[in-house]
Chain A
Amino acid sequence: MPPEPDNAAATEEAGLLALTGRGDREAFRLLYARYSAPLFSLAVRFVGNTGEAEELLQDVFVKIWRNAVVFDSRKSRPFTWAVTIMRRTCIDHLRKRRRIPASAPLPADAGAPAGCSTGADGRQAAEAREDSDRLSEALAKIPPDPRRALELALFSEMTRVEIARHLEQPEGTVKSWIRRGMLDLRTILTNSAP
């Protein structure tokens, strides 16, 4: 698994964001080179097809360009900041779309993003299956209830209340499951890091 950028990398990326905020196009391109693939993959996971994911990716990088100036490294890591932008953009998109193709929990053995079945999407799905889905492998190690709650919190547009309704559980239970799932995921991903 590619390591999460260490502090040095995060510092470097914060510097790139600062330069981007001052209009440095080259710094912006470097950020794109680092972030585009994971953010694109996240968008595919959310919306279930590469076409919409590409549009969302473009929206997000325009936002990154325009808002790099307000990034505060004391509050979050650069990549987390970008991920949050992408997640919010995807959630907004899905809520507008009024359908939930990617909100179902990710099966433990499902390697492909939801909705990838034909054409370019189909090819991507095939490639995704060939490339082991390390997240699914990690999630499979989490007990079922916390895993389902965490997956919905990670990759759906549902609010907390909607997640609770979907899982037919009290909101407090769902919050507890999300906590359990997230802490388990932390342990699993940390232990599996090279």
Chain B
Amino acid sequence: MNPQLEELACLYVLDRLEPGERSIFEERLPRDPELAALVAELESTLGRAVRALPQGEPPGGSLADIEARIDLNPAVGASAPRSRERERVDPTPTAEFRINQLPSNGASGQARRAVSLWVPVLRWGIAAVIAVGVGVIAVEHLRPIPAVANRPFVIVVGLDSQQSRQTRLPLSERLRDADASFVKLASLAGEFWDKPSDLPVKLGSNVRSGRGYALFDPASGQGFIGVRQLPAIESGRRYRLWILDTASGQAREAGVLPAAGSGSGLYSFFVAPAVKAVAGRLDFFVTVEDAVAPASARPSGNVVLGDPRTF
């Protein structure tokens, strides 16, 4: 076998591939029985290696403690609501569109754990999900989503204070449900947060202030937006995220970004599954608006992320 493929297989089993490499590798894996066999062998090797460590037994009460933690929130597993649903702690459950902050640190949170299995967002830890601003998007005014092309993808938008750039990031396989979509998006968002240079969209170097990126899965209506170094905001003002249908020119508020202090953060958002949303090209913008402005108002404040000429 090609040594480079062997190398990728080893790094894959050791969970040391970059997202792009992993995507390519996983795309090839089902079509390459020899490679799949090697991966199976290496997985077995990893298992043997772990079992070959000096074996210690966990304290006797561990299982009881684990079950006690599980009992705190028994609505888990296949029969439970989807993990994304469980994460909602926002007090306005009827909102169609909402943003949840994924804090970079903090105390443990059951809800956060529900979706943190696969995601490098774990780097922000087991943390309380802080529900933040909520916006309502009247997505029925946007064109319906066309059937996702045969090749699954997520939309990636790079944002800075002067422009936005968008591309489609192909996925190796279709995301089978909202949970899988969220996990994938979270994984990608976390990777890009840690290593912005991996973003498939490159931003211009002449960045006055602030930058960010958005990931959006049009099939599930879920997305993530990461922002860094947004300018300081005055009291009584706040950042608002907008989705723009570039075909119709309609912009709808998508929620409030609670970026404070460093002006940085990573947030999830989603469009309720019942809503048929978004077609053609979507774009994302962040503006500074009056805190008391109605949620459905058009953007009127300065664009801090995205192309300011758009509005």
Contact = CB atoms under 8 A, between A and B. Distances in A.
Nearest to A65: B70
Interface in B1-38: 3, 6-7, 10-11, 13-16, 18
Most buried by A among B48, B66, B79, B180: B48
A189 B16 CA distance: 21
Contacts of B40: 77
Tell me what chain A mostly uses at the interface: helix, strand, loop, or mixed.
helix
Contact of A62 (B16, B47, B66, B83): B66
A85 interface: yes
B59 A54 contact: yes
Interface string A1-18: 111110000000000000
Nearest to A86: B50
A22 interface: yes
A96 B52 CA distance: 27
Interface string A46-72: 000010011001110111011111100
A65 B77 contact: yes
Interface string A90-101: 001001100000
Contacts of A69: 77-78
Interface string B91-117: 000000000000001000000011011
Interface in A158-194: 159-160, 175-176, 178-179, 182-183, 185-186, 189-190, 193
B54 A70 contact: no
A36 B116 CA distance: 20
Contacts of A83: 46-47, 50
A164 to B, nearest CB: 11
Interface string B35-74: 0000011111111111111111111001101110110001
A138 B54 CA distance: 13
A131 B55 contact: yes
Given A67-B117, A77-B43, A40 B57 contact: yes
Nearest to B75: A23
B117 A85 contact: yes
A54 B64 CA distance: 12
A41 B10 contact: no
B251 to A, nearest CB: 35
A65 B76 contact: yes
Given A21-B78, A62-B70, A77-B47, A112 B54 contact: yes
A76 B45 CA distance: 13
A26 to B, nearest CB: 11
Interface residues of A, number: 76
A160 B179 CA distance: 29
Interface string A113-135: 10000000000100111010111
Contacts, number: 192
B208 to A, nearest CB: 30
Nearest to B80: A23
Given A89-B122, A179-B3, A63 B116 contact: yes
Contacts of B46: 80, 83
A96 B183 contact: no
B70 to A, nearest CB: 5
Contact of B51 (A23, A38, A131): A38
B256 interface: no
B164 to A, nearest CB: 29
Nearest to A111: B54
A154 B49 contact: yes
A57 B18 CA distance: 26
Contacts of A189: 45, 48-49, 52
Contacts of B47: 4-5, 77, 79-80, 83
Contacts of A66: 76-77, 83, 113-114, 117
Contact of B63 (A29, A70, A77, A124): A29
Contacts of B48: 1, 3-4, 189-190, 193
Contacts of A84: 15
Given A58-B66, A65-B76, A176-B7, 7 more contacts: A36-B57, A38-B53, A59-B126, A62-B66, A83-B46, A131-B55, A183-B6
18 contacts: A4-B47, A21-B77, A36-B63, A37-B55, A39-B50, A62-B66, A63-B113, A65-B76, A76-B43, A77-B47, A131-B54, A154-B14, A178-B11, A179-B3, A179-B10, A183-B10, A186-B42, A186-B44
The 4 closest A-B pairs by CB, nearest first: A128-B54, A134-B52, A135-B52, A67-B117
